[in-house]
A and B are shown apart, each in its own frame.
Chain A
Amino acid sequence: MTSLLERSLGFATTEQLDRLSTSLQDTGRRYYQQARELLRQEVAAGSLEHQTFSNADHSKWPGEVRDFWDSAEPDQFALGGEGGSRLDYFVRKDSGVWVYSKSLGDVRMDELSSEYRGARKVVQEVRERDLRRGFLTTLVVLVAAVWLVSLISLIYLANRVSRPIQQLTAGLSELAAGRLETRIDAEGADEIGRAVAAFNRSAEELEQSRSRLVYLTQIASWQALARKMAHELKNSLTPIRLTVEEILARQPEGERQFMEQASRIVVSEVESLERKVRAFSEFSSEPPLHLGRIDVNAVIEERVSFLKPGHVDITYSMDLAANLPARADADRIKGILTNLLENAAQATGPGGEVLSLSYVQNAKVRVEIHDSGPGLSEEARRTLFEPTITFKQHGMGLGLSIARKDALLCGGDLQLVEGSLGGAGFLLTLPVDIS
């Protein structure tokens, strides 16, 4: 705007320049005519010497003399000298041209002409423009531009402020509708950013809690089913076994050999079924929980020492952070670690490696067990913690489901993580004991 004002003030002087240049030209013209009249009077009075250019030397005449001669006029005035500081008066004679000269002093008419020409050029160029329209339109354009930029900035700022709030509101609605996997992209570290981060944390915790609750509910259903099945099977298996033994006792000697062989097969199968019934009974049993302060590192070391003799060709390594008191049921943690370490040993095989880690993160004691085995397939990863599924040659496959159930009951969790030794990796989290 300042620049615009300066320019408008600059153009305002054009009118003055117009008047000044016109006045200058008028004054210059009057001065010239006065000087011309004086020169003419002096020539008439014979008080001025002249320079003669005779016809005999026509070829040597200067250009201005020749031009005058060619013009056929009786006399003529012209400016000469440096910058037009001399007035020449050409007079035609029969013998040639007489030239009278008179100095104009310090006045240089040609320079005056040049200055006047420059001034008029500026005036003309300015007059060929519609400056009022130019300034007005420029002012309107600049104001509109400022207004537009302000509006765009305002819209941008309003959007920047309201968008996270809208996202937060929408996220809360989604959460209220039960879609706990909803997350919001957190931006910045301001109040809105912190609120979004808090929302995401809450949603994650809610989702984890729901997942745990669902799992525990499923486990409870499976436990009830297992208990019922074990009871029914147990009721049937005992009479079967007694009856087979009675049939064998009553057989005559001649047919006894075949019956002994047949009864061994039946008894073996019954014993197998009884083992499975015991496993189901153990799975369905829910002994009381005894939460207390436990030294996680000590439990890990004790379990490794316990299992090591059974797997002498496996390398057990540990990286345990100091001072890791957790609050959990010691027996159940031992069971979990035994299951994980035994599974790892079986998966990695002879010459393999099992790694145990422990550390604290986000107010949780974390224990990781990694093995160098072949790892788990996608199908296995998906159904790993479901009961009655086995991936081993021995056992019922209930171990991991029981282990996760126990971890959840202790306030922690058991999850499958990326194995750091190329095989499977499990993460056991337990609450830190703050007492």
Chain B
Amino acid sequence: MLPVLLAALLYPAFGAAQSLKPYVEGDQLHLRGSNVRLLSSEAKQQLRNGATVTYAFRVSVTEARNGDARGSFTYHCVFSFDLWEEKYKVSRREPGYRSASNLTQAAAEQLCLESLVVPATVLPTDRPFWISLAYEKEDGRATNNPDSSTSIPGILVDIFSRRTKDSLPIDIVESGPFRLADLRKAR
């Protein structure tokens, strides 16, 4: 009883754990996230400024937690924000997937995740496997001088005013073990 009580008390403080809930449809494995929030506050601010934000994803299939990948697939989702409707739009950069607009943030994130597919051929049929999703926001921050100047003071101001850029974080969500047969049944 006590552990349950502690977990209930600590849950709001640490947030819900992120996890992946894959499903197989046809000959492809699709991802669905539980508590996976792709868009960071910085990304949301950029979107509300009218800019587009691109996230890079790498989906890997391993036979053990933190094990060697049987297969890895890279995708990019491009998010944008409709200033007047206040709705999100998302599209996968790689061809073969349609974009969707007029979405809430959660719907846009979910749609992006579902567009990240793994061919069922790389999934082991007789052994459990893990799905690892690593994602990062591509750097869309200013790299150029906003007021390009060729004068020496201008160039010096540009140099000395640059902030040290923190490297953008890479988020990793890993879930498993899954069995292909169970995923087919679940769908």
Contacts and interface: CB of A to CB of B under 8 A. Distances in A.
Q: Do A and B bind each other?
A: yes
Interface stretch (B1-9, B117-125, B149-157, B176-184): B149-157
A364 to B, nearest CB: 61
Nearest to B159: A134
Contacts of A163: none
B137 to A, nearest CB: 14
A269 to B, nearest CB: 97
Interface string A124-136: 1110111101110
Interface residues of A, number: 40
A91 interface: no
A58 interface: no
Contact of B154 (A3, A77, A130): A3
Contact of A7 (B49, B51, B141, B147): B147
Contact of A116 (B83, B101, B147, B157): B83
Interface stretch (B19-27, B32-40, B64-72, B160-168): B160-168
Contact of A71 (B83, B85, B100, B163): B100
Given A29-B86, A120-B49, A138 B102 contact: no
Contacts, number: 97
Interface string A59-74: 0000000010011010
Given A11-B147, A76-B102, A125-B142, A131 B157 contact: yes
Interface string B89-127: 000000000101110000000000000000000000000
B154 A124 contact: no
Contacts of B14: none
Given A29-B84, A29-B86, A71-B100, A7 B157 contact: yes
Interface of B: 46, 49-51, 83-86, 98, 100-102, 141-142, 144, 146-147, 149, 151-154, 156-163
17 contacts: A1-B153, A3-B154, A4-B157, A25-B83, A32-B84, A67-B100, A77-B85, A113-B50, A113-B84, A117-B49, A117-B51, A129-B142, A129-B146, A129-B163, A134-B162, A135-B157, A137-B160
Given A7-B154, A33-B84, A113-B50, 8 more contacts: A7-B149, A10-B147, A32-B84, A76-B102, A124-B46, A124-B141, A124-B142, A141-B160
